[in-house]
Amino acid sequence: MDFAEQTAGTADDFSFGWELREQTGAVCTVGDAAADAAFVADRPTDAITDILHGLCGLYGPLPGERFFFRSEPVEFRWVLDRQGTDVDISIYLFPDVHGGVGTPDSAGLLVWRSRQARGRFVHAVLDTTEAVLDGEGARPEPAGRRTGPSPLSALVELRRMHRRDDGCGAACRPATPEEHSDGRRRLPHP
């Protein structure tokens, strides 16, 4: 398996890719049978943490989730709306960092939209982010660029809820073979 396969989680017609750039940032790609989109996240660890927390929210009582990827000078707003067991995923471009806060989705430019089964969507994101985080020991993000918590706890929680509620089957990785009884986890490094 080559690197591209490892970091592009694909299930049926949904794909989610994440490629760290040489210096800073990451390129996030999403796609379905109709269209693909790619955009830069300036702070990859924060962005991965935000998407994992957003997907965790799909297993709670709220009808949807919103979060932002910073990509100066612009910002991308992810909007997840639950439709039964499906999720409507919309990604909007806002021309200013923080410019989107408090403004309606319609004020942004819709760059990609897709309806996906929650299980398919979450499975692809989980596989991709686990592959990225497993390999991250080779190139840690500079501490000064980190503003939020580690994504690991959200990753473990999301995998646990996905396996509990989505009926993903035997092909789905266990929540975490490294998880300890106290809930802490260390990702294995090659």
List interacting residues with Zn ion (CB under 5 A).
123, 168, 172
Q: Which is nearer to Zn ion, 53 or 123 (CB)?
A: 123
Identify which of residues 89 and 168 has a Cβ nearer to Zn ion in the complex. 168
The residue (of 70 and 162) whose beta carbon lies closer to Zn ion is 162
Q: Between 65 and 127, name the residue whose CB sits nearer to Zn ion.
A: 127
**What's the first-to-final CA gap in the chain, in angstroms?**
15
Task: Please answer whether residues 126 and 155 qualify as being in contact, where contact means their C-beta atoms are separated by less than 8 angstroms.
Answer: yes
Report in angstroms how near the CB of residue 85 gets to Zn ion at its nearest.
Answer: 14
Shorter beta-carbon distance to Zn ion: residue 70 or 118: 118
Give dist(CA 186, CA 176) in Å, integer. Answer: 9
Least separation in angstroms between residue 159's CB and Zn ion is 8
| d(C-alpha 19, C-alpha 132), whole Å | 8
- b (16+ CB within 10 A) / e for 156-184: bbbbbbbbeebebeeebeebbeeeeeeee
Distance CA 169, CA 149 (A): 30
Q: How far is the CB of 128 from Zn ion (least distance, A)?
A: 12
Spatial separation of the C-alpha atoms in residues 81 and 88, rounded to whole Å: 5
Shortest Cβ 22–Zn ion spacing (Å):
31
Query: Least distance in Å: CB of 49 to Zn ion?
Result: 20
Q: What is the spatial distance between Cα 110 and Cα 123, in angstroms, rounded to a whole number?
A: 24
Q: Which residues pair with 113 in a beta bridge?
A: 90
- Shortest reach from residue 146's CB to Zn ion, in Å: 28
- Whichever of 70 and 163 has its CB closer to Zn ion, that residue is 163
